[in-house]
Amino acid sequence: MSTKYRDILYNNYHTNQSGRASLTDAKSLFEREKKQFEREILPKLVGVSKSARIFDLGCGSGSLLMALKQAGYTQISGMDLSQEQVDMAHGMGVSEVVLGDAMQFLRDAKQGFDVITGMDIIEHFTKDELVELLQLIQSKLNPGGMAIFRTPNMDAPVASAFALGDFTHENYLNASSAEQVMLSCGFHSVNVLPSTMRVQGVFKEIIRRIVYDWMELFWKLQLFATARSTRKVLFTPNLIIVGQNNTNP
């Protein structure tokens, strides 16, 4: 990725975007992200060996890698284009993060991976770049390996708050288009799942769940009223996309 705006915005990405948007300090944001990944991503790795080779592209401050490390995974690595993010990762104790272009790294990789992850990253690629990236990832997965992505969901209510909240976003998916592009790029099977939602405080979380359940019913009724099926329509702010490689070499 060499577009000029990327050189400008990614250089201090935490200061100008992730840290600014979080309204909290870097350490608190790191811990909050790590807990989210523990709830949202680690359950998708049930059955994956602790010695599996895992690569996190566009890994940011390394919060997912820290979650993986603390869960006992031993062969983990990550790469990010932002020097600021890499420095933050090292400051948080995630030495497995290095600076570089993850696509070029994958092109040059001689050994396959069991799991490749990308949290809040695939939306930063143009459609042509994304297809190239997904085909590349699929080709670098070992037989039976998996790719796991998190990306904004365009079927979510007020989707623009998530999808358009970052100037560097280039493409937008819903559950149907996510499945379409993953299958087209060679993944043997694809499962698109809702993201995990939670707010701090037990009482607030109970209220949030009640409100969301009623809102979800209303959204489904809207689809019904337009003679559209609710099958494969998700409403959470993000999608979790799990693509499985063929078990045969």
The CA distance from 107 to 133, in Å, is 10
Q: Which residues, in sequence order, are bridge partners of residue 239?
A: 151, 194
**Architecture of the domain defined by 4-244:** 3-Layer(aba) Sandwich (3.40)
Residue-range domain boundaries for the chain: 4-244
Q: How many CB atoms lie within 10 A of CB 235?
A: 18
**What is the pLDDT, as a whole number, of residue 23?**
47
**Three-state secondary structure call for residue 208:** helix
- pTM of this structure: 0.90
- Phi, psi angle pair for 203, to nearest 5°: -65, -45
- Residue 57, token pair as written in the block: 């592209």
Question: Which residue is listed with tokens 């494969």?
Answer: 232
The CA distance from 87 to 72, in Å, is 23
Distance of CA 220 to the CA centre of its chain: 26
| Residue type (1 letter), 50 | K
pLDDT (tens, 9 = 90+) of the chain, 249 residues, equals 455 877 777 776 666 655 545 546 788 889 999 999 999 999 999 999 999 999 999 998 999 999 999 999 999 999 998 888 899 999 999 999 999 999 999 999 999 999 999 999 999 899 999 999 999 999 999 999 999 999 999 999 988 888 888 888 899 999 999 999 999 999 999 999 999 998 888 999 999 999 999 999 999 999 999 998 888 899 999 999 999 998 776
Q: What is the β-pairing status of strands 238-244 and 189-194?
A: antiparallel
Q: How many CB atoms lie within 10 A of CB 163?
A: 19
The CA distance from 149 to 119, in Å, is 5
Question: Which residue is listed with tokens 């799990």?
Answer: 242
The CA distance from 32 to 163, in Å, is 20
**Nearest of 147, 157, 127, 248 to residue 192 by alpha carbon:** 147
